Amino acid sequence: MIENPSDESSNRVSTSDDIEVGTYLEIAQADRISGSKPPIDDRMKTIVIIDFGSQYSRLIARRIREANTYCEIVAHDAGSEILENQDVIGVIFSGGPNSVYEEGAPMAPTWVYDSGVPILGICYGMQLLAHQLGGVVARGTEREYGHAVVHKDGSDNVLFEGLDNEAPVWMSHGDRIEELPPGFRSMAYTENSPLAVMGNEDGSYFGIQFHPEVVHTPQGAEILKNFVFGVCKAPGDWTPANFVSDAVERIKERVGDGKVICALSGGVDSTVAAALIHRAIGDRLTCIFVDNGLMRKGEAERVQNVFASQLGVNLIFVDGTERFLSAL
């Protein structure tokens, strides 16, 4: 292990204790996962999040998982394989930077509508739902960004079940729905958005113009739960332990009696991958970590300490600092 340089000549920036390796260390340690390890179900009840380029797609996923419901994020042009791989019980359209009426704007694939599962559109996702189902979306007279107050339009509103008639929300949009699709009705409004929430008569398609996934919408998590449980009828029995157990079993099945080499960067993806593989096959995993000299101060040493000392992973450390820096 290389000693941590402490002289002022080092150009590396010191790191805090919350770098990726430290943050995800507990994910790698089985005993720290709370709850039992339920039996593996090859087809989990799943909420699919269609990503249209939103910066909040992963935050939507986090909110769904916090509601003890499994979800996956797929691209807007993804095929329908997810319907075969999982028991899809609902779909969420994310926000996005485009306008649905522009040429080349991303559209939802037809398999989503053909699947017959409930759909919730958020911001761009709401406008897209309206656009593809026969409504009219146009540029708003003024952009709505920041805090707003949404008012329930009538009492029959499953998304707002248990919530106040007025709720603070976070808006970020420049377009608005001018005409609802056939079979839809307004369910809530704000001062600048007469159609802030919409739903169809069947109670299966919904759209909300604001962002329930951000903390600036205080009751947003409850709105998402109302969709997940009230509309999609999710059982709410999923935990991270389900995912870990499932992943470990799949790795065991695929690797068999073989061995695995894992390129380790110390970042989120390779850290979690290495932890799961190590749990599945133990010493048959060898990780290779290359210090390219461009990492933060002390990070290379910490990676070695976490994986070799704390987790007991076979780790090959390569000091490539001089080679990489001399090539710049």
Catalytic residues: 123, 211, 213
Q: Where are the beta strands (DSSP E) in the chain?
A: 45-51, 70-75, 87-93, 119-122, 136-152, 166-179, 184-189, 197-200, 205-208, 260-264, 285-291, 314-319
106, 52 in Cβ contact below 8 A? yes
* CA quadruple 57, 58, 59, 61: dihedral sign: positive
- What are 148's strand-pairing partners? 169
Q: Give the pair of three-digit tokens for residue 138.
A: 């146009």
75, 93 in Cβ contact below 8 A? no
272, 301 in Cβ contact below 8 A? no
Residue 191's nearest CA partner among 208, 205, 171, 215 is 171
**Neighbouring C-beta atoms of residue 168, cutoff 10 Å:** 15
How far apart are alpha carbons 47 and 92 in whole angstroms?
7
Q: Give the pair of three-digit tokens for residue 199.
A: 């739903």
- Residue 109 has, within 13 A of its CA and on its CB side, a CA count of 18
